[in-house]
């Protein structure tokens, strides 16, 4: 079977705020026999909730320009950001089914010598791992299973909604992301508000950070009610930003203190696959820098290796 190859769409937050996700993704996909190709010339996705709400044609044109880069190279796209996935997948889907929108977008693209043809697919890391790689191979590569690590998950919003269109998972009773995370060997901890928004989406964080943090605090309080966890795992860097930095901001706005280590799913799998935190830059996380002496993932990772 030939090696699966993807164009690797990074978006904005991964390279600018959490480059450890890119480094971890490259390690994990390489271990799994999947090739990630640099996507030269890619721009912002752009953000679905903001751009798409104000000007649908402009939003779709910018997203379609990114799609044409992959079309020219003949490989599908994979991304580790829920928002980027929403913009690229939704645009790809809509342009394949909406003749009027496709005509308007291609009229814009013609000005830079491009044309959307609808010849490639867009995959979230989660979809690629579950559907193309498979849980069995992920478990096989988890040579340092994270036994004893209590793990909560935050699936986020955009990669599986709307479920009637995307058909990636049941957004009310999802299981795909949970099963991938469990393949790391960590113990899954369910909690009441697992499926609510992190608080950052739809430009809420930009418009009113305190309101955004209300959502984040509710999630953390719900998790504490369930007995707490060592790490919270998400498939989205924007959610990771809100849950990681949000703990510092919550202390400022609400005088409440939390100590959760926040990991992207690729960072979780990189640890389970035997890679050291320093190898992919996990030590740059805000919660690590706030608590250098004993971050949960490092303490438990060392115990798992012993």
What confidence score (pLDDT) does residue 206 get? 84
- Single out the residue of 160, 156, 158, 153 nearest to residue 178, CA to CA: 153
The H or E element containing residue 86 is: helix 82-97
Q: What is the pLDDT of residue 304?
A: 43
Q: What is the model's pLDDT at position 1?
A: 42
User: CA-based angle 138:140:143, to the nearest 5?
Assistant: 100
Domain residue ranges of the chain, discontinuous segments joined by +: 4-125, 143-305
- Would you identify the CATH topology of the domain 4-125? Glutathione S-transferase Yfyf (Class Pi); Chain A, domain 2 (1.20.1050)
**Predicted pLDDT of residue 306:** 39
| Residue labelled with tokens 């991938």 | 180
CATH 3.40.50.11810 correct for 143-305: yes
Q: Which residues of the chain have pLDDT under 70?
A: 1-2, 291-306
Residue 293: its pLDDT value, please? Answer: 56
| Whole-number Cα distances in Å, 304 to 22, 96, 143, 151, 271 | 24, 47, 10, 14, 10
What count of Cα atoms within 13 Å lies in the side-chain half-sphere of residue 56? 9
What pTM was estimated for this model as a whole? 0.94
From 88, 51, 86, 266, select the one nearest 163 (Cα to Cα).
Answer: 86
């Amino acid at each position: 079977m030939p090696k699966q190859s993807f164009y690797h769409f990074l978006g904005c937050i991964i390279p600018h705020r959490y480059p450890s996700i890119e480094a971890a993704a490259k390690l994990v996909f390489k271990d799994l026999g999947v090739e990630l190709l640099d996507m030269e010339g890619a721009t912002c996705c752009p953000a679905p909730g903001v751009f798409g709400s104000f000007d649908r044609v402009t939003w779709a044109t910018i997203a379609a320009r990114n799609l044409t880069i992959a079309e020219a190279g003949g490989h599908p796209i994979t991304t580790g950001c829920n928002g980027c996935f929403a913009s690229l997948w939704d645009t790809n889907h809509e342009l394949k089914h909406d003749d009027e929108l496709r005509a308007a977008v291609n009229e814009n693209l013609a000005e830079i010598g491009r044309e959307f043809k609808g010849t490639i697919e867009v995959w979230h890391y989660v979809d690629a791992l579950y559907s193309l790689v498979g849980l069995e191979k992920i478990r096989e590569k988890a040579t340092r299973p994270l036994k004893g690590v209590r793990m909560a998950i935050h699936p986020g919003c955009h990669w599986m909604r709307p479920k009637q269109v995307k058909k990636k998972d049941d957004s009310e009773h999802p299981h795909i992301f949970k099963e991938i995370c469990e393949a790391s060997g960590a113990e899954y901890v369910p909690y009441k508000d697992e499926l609510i928004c992190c608080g950052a989406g739809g430009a809420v964080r930009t418009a009113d950070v305190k309101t955004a943090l209300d959502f984040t605090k509710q999630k953390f309080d719900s998790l504490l009610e369930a007995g707490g966890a060592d790490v919270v795992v998400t498939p989205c860097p924007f959610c990771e930003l809100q849950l990681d930095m949000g703990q510092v901001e919550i202390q400022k706005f609400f005088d409440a203190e939390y100590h959760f280590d926040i990991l992207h799913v690729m960072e979780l799998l990189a640890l389970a696959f035997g890679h050291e935190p320093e190898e992919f830059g996990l030590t740059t996380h805000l919660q690590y820098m706030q608590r250098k002496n004993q971050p949960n993932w490092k303490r438990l990772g060392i115990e798992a290796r012993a």
